[in-house]
Amino acid sequence: MLWGFVWLRLIRDKPQDAGWMSAESCGYLSQSLDREQWLLPQVASMKGAMRSATVVWLCIQYLLWSVGVYGFVPWLPTIIQKGAARGIGITGLLTAAPYLFAIICMLLVAHFSDRSLHRKRFVWPFLLLPELLCLVRI
């Protein structure tokens, strides 16, 4: 909660308001932000934005990711609890196994994604995988 007060005191909405930035940096950042805003497609209203296919797909993607993460987090203590009866070494290995699997999968997916240059094909299956694992667990 204290960080919120520090944030309100230090952070400014516009580069021109940030006293700690040099004039050159401030001008460059302002130009970059203006250019980014100019390149964004214009949306008439919030209702129009919510009807955008991109927004809908990103919402679905975030929902699936959240379900996977919140499905995994409660499951991990169960692994630890079952492994605790066997000793601290086994408990550590059991806890590390899902993360090790994730690291290996990320490296393989990144490799094949870079080789094929079709990144979307490699994102969706892994966003659905945690949900499938949660369903199997139920």
pLDDT in tens, 36-47: 988 888 888 888
Would you state the structure tokens that stand for residue 88, as one six-digit string?
């601290």
Closest by alpha carbon to 126, among 107, 117, 75?
Answer: 107
Query: pTM score, two decimals?
Result: 0.43
Q: pLDDT grade, residue 100 (50/70/90)?
A: confident
Whole-number Å distance between alpha carbons of 104 and 119: 17
**Contact assessment for residue 72 and residue 130, using Cβ atoms and an 8 Å cutoff:** yes
Reply yes or no on whether the pLDDT at 113 is more than 70.
yes
Would you state the structure tokens that stand for residue 9, as one six-digit string?
């005191």
Reply yes or no on whether the pLDDT at 10 is more than 70.
yes
Reply yes or no on whether the pLDDT at 63 is more than 90.
no
**Is residue 10 helix, strand or coil?**
helix
